[in-house]
């Protein structure tokens, strides 16, 4: 029991800021996870022990009340025996009363002592639960902070990479651009040539047809006059 109380006291006295600092230095929440596991283990042990002590407190209180009640009855019985002149029975009852009063006192003292210990354990349990809640909240904040820091590092790397791209020789960039534009110009020229050839063929074909029609028309006129 003493060992458990000491462990709990050490956990309660642990420096939260120190835990956070060590976690930041290691860039990991593992140090906080280990502390959380220790708190949870000792909290469970403390609850079991508190339940045992709480049961003992109830037992001691019941025993004290039983002996105190029996002592009160004996005290009244002794008065009755004395009034009836039964001194021998009164003396025996008095001896028994003394024993019951002593036992009642012992149970009372043990009850009070254990009840004080029980209240102390309940108080420590509440404090340990509060500490557990706080450290878990701090862990989540720290984890979020580390994720943010990692994201900033990645962003910084990206920016550096972009800076390196920006540092490429301007002449090289212009050369690449010219090559692309040249290829586009060549394709446009090919398309223009192909389009011109088709247009010329169409015009030529249409032109020949017109001449043929004109000749046919002349032939009909001339041949008609001769007839």
Residue 178's pLDDT band (cuts 50, 70, 90): low
The mean pLDDT value for 131-157 works out to 78
| Per-chain mean pLDDT for the chain | 78
Q: Exposed, middle or buried by CB within 10 Å (0-12, 13-18, 19+), for 210?
A: exposed
pLDDT at 13: 82
Least confident span in 91-95, 112-116, 132-136: 132-136
Name the residue ranges covered by the structural domains of the chain.
Answer: 2-166, 170-227
The mean pLDDT value for 20-38 works out to 85
Contact in structure between 67 and 100 (CB atoms under 8 Å): yes
Could you tell me which residue, 188 or 71, shows the higher pLDDT?
71
Residue 27's pLDDT band (cuts 50, 70, 90): confident
Q: Exposed, middle or buried by CB within 10 Å (0-12, 13-18, 19+), for 23?
A: buried
Could you tell me which residue, 195 or 105, shows the higher pLDDT?
105
Residue linked to tokens 């020229």: 189
pLDDT at 181: 52
pLDDT at 1: 66
Q: Exposed, middle or buried by CB within 10 Å (0-12, 13-18, 19+), for 121?
A: buried
Q: Tens digit of pLDDT for each residue in 102-111? A: 999 999 999 9
**pLDDT higher than threshold 60 for residue 16:** yes
Instruction: Report pTM.
Output: 0.58
Q: Which residues contact 15 (CB under 8 A, 6 or more apart)?
A: none
The whole-angstrom separation of Cα 142 and Cα 155 is: 20
The mean pLDDT value for 164-192 works out to 52
The mean pLDDT value for 168-184 works out to 50
Q: Tens digit of pLDDT for each residue in 128-140? A: 898 888 888 888 8
Pair of tokens at residue 136: 């878990």
pLDDT at 14: 79
């Amino acid at each position: 029991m003493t060992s458990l109380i000491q462990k709990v006291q050490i956990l309660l006295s642990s420096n939260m800021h120190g835990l956070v600092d060590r976690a930041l230095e290691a860039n990991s929440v593992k140090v906080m996870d280990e502390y959380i596991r220790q708190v949870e283990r000792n909290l469970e042990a403390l609850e079991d022990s508190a339940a045992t002590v709480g049961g003992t407190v109830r037992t001691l209180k019941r025993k004290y009340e039983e002996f105190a009640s029996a002592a009160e009855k004996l005290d009244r019985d002794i008065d009755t025996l004395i009034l009836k002149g039964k001194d021998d029975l009164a003396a025996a009852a008095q001896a028994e009363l003394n024993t019951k009063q002593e036992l009642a006192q012992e149970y009372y003292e043990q009850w009070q002592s254990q009840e004080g210990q029980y209240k102390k354990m309940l108080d420590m349990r509440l404090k340990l639960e509060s500490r557990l809640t706080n450290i878990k909240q701090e862990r989540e904040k720290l984890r979020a902070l580390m994720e943010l820091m990692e994201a900033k590092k990645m962003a910084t790397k990206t920016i550096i990479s972009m800076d390196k791209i920006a540092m490429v020789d301007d002449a090289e960039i212009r050369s690449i651009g010219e090559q692309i534009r040249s290829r586009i110009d060549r394709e446009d020229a090919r398309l223009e040539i192909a389009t011109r050839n088709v247009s010329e063929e169409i015009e030529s074909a249409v032109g020949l047809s017109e001449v043929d029609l004109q000749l046919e028309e002349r032939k009909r006129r001339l041949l008609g006059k001769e007839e």
